[in-house]
Amino acid sequence: MAVAWPKTDLTTYVRAYRQKSLRVLETIPEREIAALIEVLETARNHSRQVFVCGNGGSAATASHLAAGLCKEGSWERETRFRAFSLSDNVSWMTALANDIDYASIFVEQLKNHARADDVLIALSGSGNSANILRAVEWANRHGLLTVAITGRPGTKLGRLAREVISIDSPHIGHIEEAHFLIQHLVTYYFAEMA
């Protein structure tokens, strides 16, 4: 026997979720996004490496941002981005997690590739992930410019990074939606404007 889903309740849920999401997206801080664009423009113009990292949904956004900068943000440009997601090398990450510890998966990659004046963009909804914090601490000590894209203001990550974009919401889904929009705002600025 087929279950009859209460369609009215489902559409009500969808509408309410969407409205909450739109309210959060409206709070994305424009000045901080402009500052991130300037950081990335400087990195591109000086051929500096841009590293991006995150866990879970933030890992997907990190991959999307790195790919977007290298594709849309560099398409038919003489000066191109050198962007790399630390969340993408599954063999290396799982070897580090298995043989050392999960908190080392990003910092150990930075030790191989990063140089002073490169950029590290760390995405974390909670702002408390040990592997993200360890990478930002190392990057700060070694002269990288660190950018946090995080959840509510005042997270550990937000206090640690040099540049911070915070999304003030208690709902991780809305935070991640805002982070995804931020990476598109940045990528398409370079595709359409710069």
pLDDT digits (tens, 9 = 90+) for 33-64: 999 999 999 999 999 999 999 999 999 999 99
pLDDT at position 8: 65
62 in Cβ contact with 82 (< 8 Å): no
Reply yes or no on whether the pLDDT at 6 is more than 90: no
Reply yes or no on whether the pLDDT at 150 is more than 90: yes
pLDDT at position 79: 93
Residues 6+ apart with CB under 8 A from 112: none
178 in Cβ contact with 24 (< 8 Å): yes
- The CA distance from 159 to 112, in Å, is 26
Q: Does pTM surpass 0.85?
A: yes
Instruction: Name which CATH class applies to 29-192.
Output: alpha beta
> What does pLDDT average to over the chain?
94
Residue ranges covered by each domain of the chain? 29-192
Reply yes or no on whether the pLDDT at 184 is more than 80: yes
Pick from 35, 27, 69: which is nearest to 175 by CA?
27
Measured in Å, how far apart are the chain's first and last C-alpha atoms? Answer: 58
Strands (E), the chain: 49-53, 82-85, 119-124, 145-150, 163-166
pLDDT at position 10: 85
